[in-house]
C-alpha cells in the first residue's frame, strides 16, 4: 500500500480521516515514486511495465521491472489498485529514487477525473524536503578536534594522516610534533615506535631496525634448500636387565628335614610362583580408595611384561642341598627392579618355610 | 475451558482498551455472542491428550477488533515497506506481512501481565502489546517519539512487558525462559510467550532453554513461527525435523494454523492455560507464511516462485480468511467490514503523519549516552571513539 505512506499523502491524512466516518470521500490518486530496492540504490532504469495504463492489479502483482547497477528487480504492488497513468515509459534510464514514475488510484476510482498535474506537482516539494530533512540534525554539536586546553604544545597533525588510536594517545601523552616524524609502518604510517623514538624514549635507530626485521619476516621464503645432513646417531642402548643373585642355604633355611617322599623341585617351584606374585603385587602402585574395577579395566595400562625369574638349584656333594636363586628383572621394571628382586627372594624364603 | 478462555479474553480487552481506545469504536450489536467452530485440522497434537476446544464463543466486537488489528498491522508493515523504498527508513527492517494472525491471536489470548519476547520481526507484536503505530514508525524513522527514542530501530522495539525485538537469532529464547522463570518465582498466574522463527529453531540455545524449562516446569510457551523459510533457505533444507512442535521431545507440542487468527487465538488460550495450571512449558508451532522477503534487501523471489506467494495470498491470507468467515456467519456486512478497513487505513496514515512530524533526537552526548544505564546506576564515565568524546555522567 504505497499510497498511504508516501509523506505527502500522509499530510492530508488527518483531514481525510474526519470524513471516513461518513464514508463519502473517495481517496485521491497518488504518485508512485521510483523505489529504492536496496539501501545503496540511488537511481535506476525502467525495464518494462508489467501493468498497462488503466489496468487494475492486486496486492503482490508485479507492477514493473526496474534495473539497478546490480540487478534487475521486480517491484510488487503492496495493495490492490488501478494504474491511472504511467509517467515514465519503458527503457528510461538513470531515474533518481523518489522521482514520480506513475500515478496509482484505488479500485473503483474515476480515472478521468484525476488531475494528474496536481498529483505529481504536490509530490515534488515533499520529496525535496524529505531528502534534506535528515541531514540537519546529524551535524555533531561537539567538535571532534581534541581540546587545546588538554596539552601545553599544540600537535600538528597532517591533514590526511589517520593515526591509530594507540598512536594518537601516545602523541598526546608525550606531546610530540608528528609532522617531523617519518613513519616506518606500511605506506609510511606513523607507529608507536616512531613516536617513542621521536620523544627520545627509545633509541632513534630502533624503529627502522624493527621495521627491517618485520619486513624480512613478512616475506615467506619458499625457495628449496636441502636441509643439512644430520650425523647418524647411535641407537639408544636398551638398559640391561637387573640381576639379583643370592645363594640360599637350604639346610640352614629349611627347618624341616629333607626326607624321603619330599619333592624338592615341586616345593621350590610352588614357592617361587607365590613369591613372584607377591613381588608383583608389592611393587604395584597402591590402588585408590575410589577404585572401581570396571573403570580400572577401561583405564588401566596394558598388562606388563611378565616378571622373569630364573631359579637354579645347586647340589653339592657333601654339604646339604644349597639353593641358588638368580632373579632377572626385565628392563621395563628397571626403576623398581632391585626392589622387586629383593621382595622375591624374601618371599621365596618365607614360602619355603611355610611347609 | 470456554469460560476460562472468555475470562482471559475479556481481561485482555479490558486492559488493552486503556491504551487503544482511540481506534476501537463501538460497533452495533457489539455484545452479540457468535458461536464459532474450528476444523479438526486447525491443530496437531504431540504428547497431548486433549487439544484446544474447537467450539467456542466470541462477541462481534471481539471479532471485529481482531480483524481491525490485523488490518492495522498489515497497513503499518506496508507503510514501513514504502518508507524504506523511499529511503526514509534505513538499516535493518524485517516485515511480517502475512503473519499478522499470530500477533493478534496471541495478544487476544493473554493479558498485560503476561510477557512476550520475539525475534526481530517484531512490529506487529509491539503494536499489539501497546506501542502506538506512531511510535513504531517513529522508531523506524529514527525519531525521538519512537519506542526506543529513535535510537534502536526495527530490531529494538520495547513496550511494557514486551521485551523486544532481539537482533541475535535465537537469543531471545533463553531470555524468554528467564521471563517465564520470573513469573514462577513471583508466584504469578502468568506465562511468557517466546517467539522464534523456523531458522532460529535449529540454534543450540533453544534446546538448552527447553531442557531448563522442562526441568523446572517454567511457565514458558516456546512458540515457533514457521514461515517456511529461514532467510532464503527452505525449512526442509535446513532442518532434519520440520515438525517444529515435536522439537521439544519431552515437552508436549501443538501445531497451529498460523494463517487463521481464530486458531491462533484458541491455541494461545490453550497454551496460556497449560502454563498457568503448572504443567510446565509447551512448544507451539504457528505454521504461517511471509509474503515479502526476509528483509528489505531480499526480493523474496529467488528461492520460491511468485505462484507460491500468490497462492498463499489468495487462498490463505489471514485477513481475507477472517473477513470471509465474518461474512459467512453473517456477523458483519460487507459495508461494516469496509468501514473497518477504511478506519484502520486512516488511523495508520494519521499515525504516520505524527511520526513524520516528530523531531529527530538531539545530537548531543547527553542524548546519545542516556539510557545506557538505568538512571542512578551509571558508571562514572563511558568511552567515546576518541578520548575527547568520553562522556562523564554527572
Contact A17 B310 (CB under 8 A): no
Question: Which of the pair, B383 or B13, is modelled with greater confidence?
Answer: B383
Tens digits of residue pLDDT in A234-289: 776 666 666 666 666 665 555 555 555 556 677 777 877 888 788 777 766 666 67
* For residue B380, pLDDT beyond 50: yes
Which CATH fold would you assign to the domain B30-300+308-361? Rossmann fold (3.40.50)
B-chain residue closest to A146, CA distance: B388
User: What are chain A's domains?
Assistant: 2-129 (2.40.50.100), 165-216 (4.10.320), 242-353 (3.30.70)
Is the reported ipTM for this assembly greater than 0.85?
no
Task: Identify the residue with better confidence: A265 or A355.
Answer: A265
The pLDDT mean for chain B works out to 91
Nearest CB neighbour to B82, from listed A6, A20, A150? A6
- Residue A190 pLDDT level (bands cut at 50, 70, 90): confident
Burial code (b: 16+ CB inside 10 Å, e: under 16) for A332-349 equals: ebeebbebbbebbbebbb
Chain B residues whose CB is inside 8 A of the A144 CB are 386, 388-389
> Residue A335: what pLDDT?
61
Extract the C-alpha cell encoding B169.
537469532
pLDDT for A324: 64
Least confident of A29-38, A108-117, B111-120, B377-386: A108-117
Predicted pLDDT of residue A100: 92
What is the crossing angle of helices B100-109 and B318-328, to 10°?
A: 60
Question: CB distance A97–B87 less than 8 Å?
Answer: yes
Angle between helices B100-109 and B60-85 (to 10 degrees): 140
Average pLDDT rounded to a whole number, residues B137-163: 95
Inter-chain residue contact B82 with A145, CB threshold 8 Å: no
pLDDT-derived band of residue A199, with 50, 70 and 90 as boundaries? Answer: confident
Q: Provide mean pLDDT across the span B120-127.
A: 96
Query: A145 CA to chain B: closest CA distance, Å?
Result: 8
This prediction's pTM = 0.65
Is pLDDT larger for residue A220 or for residue B224?
Answer: B224
pLDDT, mean of residues B313-326? 95
- Count residue pairs from A and B with Cβ separation < 8 A: 125
Let me know: does B221 contact B270? Beta carbons within 8 Å: no
pLDDT by residue (tens digit) across A299-338? 666 555 566 666 666 655 545 556 666 666 666 565 666 6
Phi/psi for A307 (5° steps) reads -70, 115
CA distance A118 to B303: 41
Sequential DSSP letters for A231-272: PPPPPPPPPPPEEEEEEEEHHHH-SS---TT--HHHHHHHHH
Instruction: Decide if A26 touches B, using CB distance below 8 A.
Output: no
pLDDT of residue A148: 39
A14 and chain B in contact, CB less than 8 A: yes
Contacting residues of B for A7, CB less than 8 Å apart: 86, 88, 356
Interface of A with B in 46-75 (CB under 8 A): 58-60, 62, 73-74
| Subunit contact A141:B386, Cβ cutoff 8 A | no
Pairwise pLDDT comparison (A185 vs A202), residue with the higher score? A202
For residue A137, the model assigns a pLDDT of: 43
Measure B342 CA to nearest chain A CA, in Å. 7
Which chain B positions have a beta carbon within 8 Å of A128's beta carbon? none
Contact in structure between B23 and B347 (CB atoms under 8 Å): yes
Output phi, psi for A217, to 5 deg.
-80, -20
pLDDT bin (cut points 50, 70, 90) of residue B284 is very high
Percent of chain B predicted with pLDDT > 90: 83
Using a CB–CB cutoff of 8 Å, tell me whether A15 touches chain B.
no
User: Where along chain B do its domains lie?
Assistant: 30-300+308-361, 365-393
CB–CB contact B349 A7 (8 Å): no
Residues in chain B with CB shorter than 8 Å from the CB of A124 are none
A258 close to B (CB below 8 A): no
Which of B180, B178, B86 shows the shortest CA–CA distance to B137?
Answer: B86
Question: Counting Cβ atoms within 10 Å, is residue A219 exposed (0-12), middle (13-18) or buried (19+)?
Answer: exposed
- Chain A, 98 to 157: residues with Cβ < 8 Å from chain B are 98, 130-131, 134, 136-142, 144-147, 150
Of B233, B9, B195, B5, the residue nearest B102 (C-alpha): B195
Distance from A168 to chain B by nearest Cα, in Å? 9
Q: What is the pLDDT of residues B225-240, one digit of tens each?
A: 999 999 999 999 999 9
Contact B353 A74 (CB under 8 A): no
Flag whether pLDDT at A57 surpasses 70: yes
Residues of A in contact with B142 (CB under 8 A): 134
Which among A33, A39, A74 is the nearest to B301, CB-wise?
Answer: A74
Residues of B within 8 A of A37 (CB-CB) are 85, 299
Amino acid at each position: 500500500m504505497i499510497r498511504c505512506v508516501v509523506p505527502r499523502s500522509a499530510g492530508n491524512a488527518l483531514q481525510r480521516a474526519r470524513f471516513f466516518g461518513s464514508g463519502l470521500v473517495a481517496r485521491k490518486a497518488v504518485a508512485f515514486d521510483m523505489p529504492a530496492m536496496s539501501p545503496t540504490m540511488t537511481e535506476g532504469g525502467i525495464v518494462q511495465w508489467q501493468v498497462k495504463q488503466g489496468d487494475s492489479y492486486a496486492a503482490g502483482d508485479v507492477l514493473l521491472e526496474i534495473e539497478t547497477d546490480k540487478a534487475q528487480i521486480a517491484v510488487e504492488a503492496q495493495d490492490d489498485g488501478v494504474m491511472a497513468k504511467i509517467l515514465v515509459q519503458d527503457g528510461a534510464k538513470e531515474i533518481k529514487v523518489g522521482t514520480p514514475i506513475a500515478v496509482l488510484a484505488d479500485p473503483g476510482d474515476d480515472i478521468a477525473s484525476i488531475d494528474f498535474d496536481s498529483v505529481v506537482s504536490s509530490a515534488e516539494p515533499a520529496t525535496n524536503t524529505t531528502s534534506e530533512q535528515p541531514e540537519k540534525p546529524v551535524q555533531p554539536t561537539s567538535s571532534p578536534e581534541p581540546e587545546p586546553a588538554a596539552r601545553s604544545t599544540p600537535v600538528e597533525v597532517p591533514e590526511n594522516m589517520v593515526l591509530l588510536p594507540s598512536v594518537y594517545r601516545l602523541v598526546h601523552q608525550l606531546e610530540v610534533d608528528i609532522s617531523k616524524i617519518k613513519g616506518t609502518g606500511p605506506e609510511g604510517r606513523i607507529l608507536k615506535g616512531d613516536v617513542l623514538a621521536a620523544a627520545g624514549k627509545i633509541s632513534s635507530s630502533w624503529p627502522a631496525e624493527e621495521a627491517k626485521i618485520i619486513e624480512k619476516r613478512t616475506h615467506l621464503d619458499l625457495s628449496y634448500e636441502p636441509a643439512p645432513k644430520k650425523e647418524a646417531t647411535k641407537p639408544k642402548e636398551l638398559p640391561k636387565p637387573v640381576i639379583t643373585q643370592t645363594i640360599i642355604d637350604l639346610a640352614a633355611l629349611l627347618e624341616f628335614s629333607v626326607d624321603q617322599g619330599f619333592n624338592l623341585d615341586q616345593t621350590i617351584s610352588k614357592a617361587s610362583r607365590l613369591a613372584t606374585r607377591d613381588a608383583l603385587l608389592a611393587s604395584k602402585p597402591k590402588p585408590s580408595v575410589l577404585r572401581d574395577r570396571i573403570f580400572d579395566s577401561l583405564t588401566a595400562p596394558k598388562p606388563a611384561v611378565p616378571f622373569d625369574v630364573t631359579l637354579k638349584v645347586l647340589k653339592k656333594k657333601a654339604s646339604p642341598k644349597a639353593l641358588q636363586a638368580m632373579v632377572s628383572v626385565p628392563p621395563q621394571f628397571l626403576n623398581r627392579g632391585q626392589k622387586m628382586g629383593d621382595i622375591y627372594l624374601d618371599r621365596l624364603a618365607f614360602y619355603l618355610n611355610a611347609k | 475451558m470456554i469460560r476460562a478462555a472468555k475470562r482471559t479474553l475479556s481481561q485482555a480487552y479490558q486492559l488493552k482498551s486503556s491504551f487503544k481506545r482511540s481506534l476501537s469504536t463501538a460497533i452495533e450489536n457489539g455484545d452479540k455472542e457468535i458461536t464459532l467452530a474450528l476444523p479438526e485440522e486447525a491443530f496437531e497434537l504431540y504428547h497431548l491428550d486433549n487439544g484446544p476446544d474447537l467450539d467456542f464463543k466470541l462477541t462481534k466486537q471481539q471479532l471485529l477488533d481482531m480483524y481491525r488489528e490485523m488490518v492495522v498491522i498489515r497497513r503499518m508493515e506496508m507503510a514501513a515497506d514504502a518508507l524504506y523504498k523511499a529511503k526514509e527508513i534505513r538499516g535493518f527492517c524485517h516485515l511480517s506481512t502475512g503473519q499478522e494472525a499470530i500477533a493478534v491471536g496471541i495478544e487476544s489470548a493473554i493479558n498485560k501481565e503476561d510477557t512476550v519476547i520475539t525475534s526481530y520481526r517484531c512490529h506487529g507484536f509491539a503494536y499489539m502489546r501497546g506501542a502506538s503505530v506512531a511510535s513504531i514508525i517513529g522508531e523506524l524513522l529514527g525519531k525521538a517519539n519512537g519506542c526506543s527514542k529513535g535510537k534502536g530501530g526495527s530490531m529494538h522495539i520495547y513496550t511494557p512487558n514486551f521485551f523486544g525485538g532481539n537482533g541475535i537469532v535465537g537469543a531471545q529464547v533463553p531470555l524468554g525462559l528467564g521471563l517465564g522463570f520470573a513469573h514462577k518465582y513471583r508466584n504469578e498466574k502468568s506465562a511468557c510467550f517466546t517467539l522464534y522463527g523456523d531458522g532460529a529453531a535449529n540454534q543450540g540455545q533453544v534446546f538448552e532453554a527447553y531442557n531448563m524449562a522442562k526441568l523446572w516446569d517454567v511457565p514458558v510457551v516456546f512458540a515457533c513461527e514457521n514461515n517456511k523459510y529461514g532467510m532464503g533457505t527452505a525449512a526442509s533444507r535446513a532442518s532434519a525435523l520440520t515438525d517444529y512442535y515435536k522439537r521439544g521431545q519431552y515437552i508436549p507440542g501443538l501445531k497451529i494454523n498460523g494463517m487463521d487468527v481464530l486458531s491462533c487465538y484458541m491455541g494461545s488460550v490453550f497454551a496460556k492455560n497449560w502454563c498457568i495450571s503448572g504443567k510446565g512449558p509447551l512448544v507451539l508451532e504457528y505454521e504461517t507464511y511471509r509474503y515479502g522477503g526476509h528483509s528489505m534487501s531480499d526480493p523474496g523471489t529467488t528461492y520460491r516462485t511468485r505462484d507460491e506467494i500468490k497462492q498463499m495470498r489468495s487462498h490463505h491470507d489471514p485477513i481475507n480468511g477472517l473477513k470471509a468467515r465474518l461474512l459467512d456467519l453473517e456477523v458483519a456486512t460487507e459495508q461494516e467490514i469496509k468501514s473497518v478497513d477504511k478506519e484502520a487505513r486512516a488511523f495508520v496514515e494519521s499515525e504516520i503523519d505524527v511520526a513524520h512530524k516528530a523531531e529527530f533526537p538531539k545530537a548531543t552526548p547527553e542524548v546519545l549516552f542516556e539510557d545506557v544505564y538505568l538512571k542512578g546506576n551509571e558508571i562514572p564515565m563511558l568511552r567515546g571513539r576518541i578520548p575527547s568524546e568520553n562522556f562523564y555522567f554527572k
